[in-house]
Structure 1
Amino acid sequence: MAGKQPKASTAKKAAKPTGRPSSYTQDLAERVCVLIAQGDSIAKIGETEGMPDARTIFRWLAANAGGEEDDPASFRQQYMRARASRADARFERLDEIMQKVEDGRLDPAAARVMMDAIKWQSGKENAKRYGEKVQLADADGEKLPAPPPFYVMGVVPAKQGE
């Protein structure tokens, strides 16, 4: 029995581990954000081979992996920039949908639903660029003037005994 060959199962242990990556790395975070900017959802990314699952990505967001709150390299900041870029990618599809309607390849009613959804999503993901403009008005519909500037005045604490 001396001279027995090791079992195949022990040889497999030295192989690369299988499963989804769950540890945060800057490279993996950048790959996730590129896919988001191209229009993929976190759910779709989580189903992709070699990518972390959706729960892991949401955990990274909650923990703000990779940096402090205002650090541009933090995952939350990268994610917010990717979502704003995704709004642009979504909005670019409007021309494609209009062309399909003109060519008779898409029902106008279906196109309207699709376009409304794209506009709504774009407005939520990049409100500055695609959101609704809000104009304040009084009860008669008259435009309200701009509010006066807001000044912050320093407060000096009272001295003890005064």
Structure 2
Amino acid sequence: MKKESIATLKKMGRPTKYTEALADEICRRIAEGEMLMQIVRDGHMPERKTVYNWMDEHEDFLHNYARACEISADALVEKGLEILDGSSPDCAQMDKNRAEYRKWLAGKRNTRYGERKAVELTGANGGPVEMITDQDEVRIASVMDRIKAIRRKRDEEDHGGTV
């Protein structure tokens, strides 16, 4: 190959230089529910790997991208609803699966759409949880010792020093 051809090939590749305009477009499209795989297919967009490198190199882009993913959950849920509303009996199961996947993905991107988990605590053998720690027991024992000493002293004073 001639030197000119190699230089021409390099210039024809996807853009790799970070610009605010490209970063903003990526975040806007993510927030609208578009997947990064789709976005990077556009000729003017960088490769997927480059976008991830930008996240490492530009903290503001990382923050904006994460926020866009969180916002995209709303769009994903809306798209799922559109799929179900436009479904026909012939495609009902496939459409349900498509909508469920969007709902699942929305839950991963934003906790508002995630599964609600209840946590129940039980103590030993399913009983109540012990709320007293070892430190608490030491403090309680110390207070009890002081109370006993005060009572002994009071009793001694009341009985003239003989108890």
Shorter-chain-normalised TM-score: which range? 0.5 to 0.7
Q: Once the 2 structures are TM-superposed, how far is the Cα of residue 92 of structure 1 from its aligned partner?
A: 0.4
Q: Once the 2 structures are TM-superposed, how far is the Cα of residue 19 of structure 1 from its aligned partner?
A: 2.8
**Which structure carries more helix by proportion?**
2
Cα deviation code 1:15-44 (max 9, x no counterpart): xx5432211121211011112112222222
- Identify if the C-alpha distance between structure 1 residues 97 and 44 changes in structure 2 by more than 3 Å, giving closer, same or farther: closer
Corresponding residue for residue 75 of structure 1: 61
Larger radius of gyration: 2
Gaps of 5+ in 1: 1-8, 68-73, 148-162
Corresponding residue for residue 132 of structure 1: 115
Cα deviation code 1:28-86 (max 9, x no counterpart): 110111121122222222210111111100111233x1x4xxxxxx0111001111121
Match of 1:117 among 101, 123, 126: 101
Counterpart contact for 1:45–1:53, Cα < 8 Å: no
What TM-score results when the alignment is normalised by the length of structure 1? 0.63
Counterpart contact for 2:81–2:99, Cα < 8 Å: no
Q: Once the 2 structures are TM-superposed, how far is the Cα of residue 105 of structure 1 from its aligned partner?
A: 6.2
Corresponding residue for residue 61 of structure 1: 55
Cα deviation code 1:119-158 (max 9, x no counterpart): 110000111x11111111146xx9x99x9xxxxxxxxxxx
Question: Could you tell me how far apart the structure 2 residues matched to 1:106 and 1:98 are?
Answer: 12
Gaps of 5+ in 2: 132-163
Corresponding residue for residue 92 of structure 1: 78
User: Percent same amino acid at aligned positions?
Assistant: 30
Aligned length: 120
Q: Which amino acid aligns with 2:94?
A: A
What TM-score results when the alignment is normalised by the length of structure 2? 0.63
SS in 1 for 2:17: coil
Corresponding residue for residue 45 of structure 1: 39
